[in-house]
Structure 1
């Protein structure tokens, strides 16, 4: 994933030797991906700016020009990683909206699969370890509406509320509650090394969907 060639070497540059916009964007991506790998493997304390620059195939001056400190890299990378839709695997297309139970089940299954991926579990562990030092990271990355899936569930609820099928006065809050039921307990256990069996995970998802739908029934 990384390269030992500094950005722009062997490639065309703008006049004056400055990297093109494409080269600069590619370098930003390499830095973030390399830093993410190092933070997950070695933690914050075990990762150095020298290591990030070497893994990204760039120079320390180029790295410091973008991020003046390791803390700045960490803040940027953590928020970026949580919101990525292509990592640790590409997000599938949104399910059809017409069948509420089927859509919620599919969304919950995908959310839980992502939450239990080893890379996400490790990211959660690193984030928790430094939550007291960087509380704004948690607010920015885990706050209301931070993840696109929250909006997907909220839009799904609006669709069915509009047809009178469910009561959903605050779709965003309900979306958070649903995703919390679907993922929080298994993800927290995984952060302590406790991984449930596939059968238990399936049962958990089914129960979360059933309980959530029961609470949405019109009075």
Structure 2
């Protein structure tokens, strides 16, 4: 009996390679400008194979974005390894890791994709925050409780301090990078050291015992009044928006 040899087919890309190809196209042309046909061509994969894996373009996009988040996330254990007796030095090392990560290829790709598509798909920003930002904020808040809290580990401003740390140390470089600015490593280190010191010494002053002199008490009262006024304005704006809607 004669044996018929089958012609070898095209080698199938791994799922990770397919998602990487899709990510590159989504970044270059945007979600609306990228077709399944273009992704299949770039990946050298049959359309039926892509549809069998993901069903539609939006599902494929979200899976690709999930992979981008996986590549971007800094493991909390890596941040914890930077801790030492020198609190300021610890924060500088942690800050440099976070800034370098957001400015790396994976971070920039995720940042630009999220910024460009989150208006029409706000859930992708929420997923980014849930999986990437929230664990980092929780770690930082815990770190501040351990290092700045009282004997029971109480530090009421821990969550706000964690958010401020990310905003001051990481937010600036991330915003600049999103606008296409190139930042060299020397600038990253200089920025991180300056911002950590600015943040930390302000935080240490805030967590110190309230001043006993009259001028210090007055400054504290004014600061509290400003905070409450800001909260009141926010509630008024929210109420106004609800009435208009």
TM-score, normalized by the shorter chain, greater than 0.5: yes
Q: How many residues align?
A: 195
Q: State the shift of 1:180 in Å.
A: 1.6
1:112 and 1:183 in contact (8 A); partners too = yes
CA distance in 1, matches of 2:41, 2:203: 53
* Aligned counterpart in structure 2 of residue 112 of structure 1, from 86, 96, 99: 99
Out of 74-83 and 143-152, give the one that drifted further: 143-152
Give the gaps of 5 or more residues in structure 2.
1-9, 209-245
Aligned partners of 2:73 and 2:132 also within 8 Å: no
TM-score normalised over the length of structure 1: 0.71
Conserved? CA contact 1:104–1:153, under 8 Å: no
What SS does the aligned partner of 2:196 have?
Answer: helix
Find the aligned partners of 1:32 and 1:45 in 2 and give their Cα distance.
17
Establish whether residue 216 from structure 1 lines up as the match of residue 203 from structure 2: yes
TM-score w.r.t. structure 2 length?
A: 0.65
Q: What value does the CA root-mean-square deviation take over the aligned residues?
A: 3.3
The residue that corresponds to 1:51 in the other structure is: 38
Q: CA deviation at 1:177?
A: 2.0
Residue 84 in 1 paired to residue 51 in 2?
no
Is the helix fraction higher in 1 or 2? Answer: 2
- The 5 Å alignment of 1:89-100 reads 93-94=78-79, 95-98=81-84, 99-100=86-87
Instruction: Check whether the contact 2:76–2:135 (CA below 8 A) recurs between aligned residues.
Output: no
Structure-2 residue corresponding to 1:127: 114
In the TM superposition, residue 86 of structure 1 has moved relative to its aligned partner by 7.4
Residue 42 of structure 1: how far off its partner (Å): 3.5
Q: Do residues 153 (structure 1) and 140 (structure 2) align?
A: yes
Structure 1 residue runs without a partner (length 5+): 8-26
Per the alignment, residue 137 of structure 1 pairs with 124
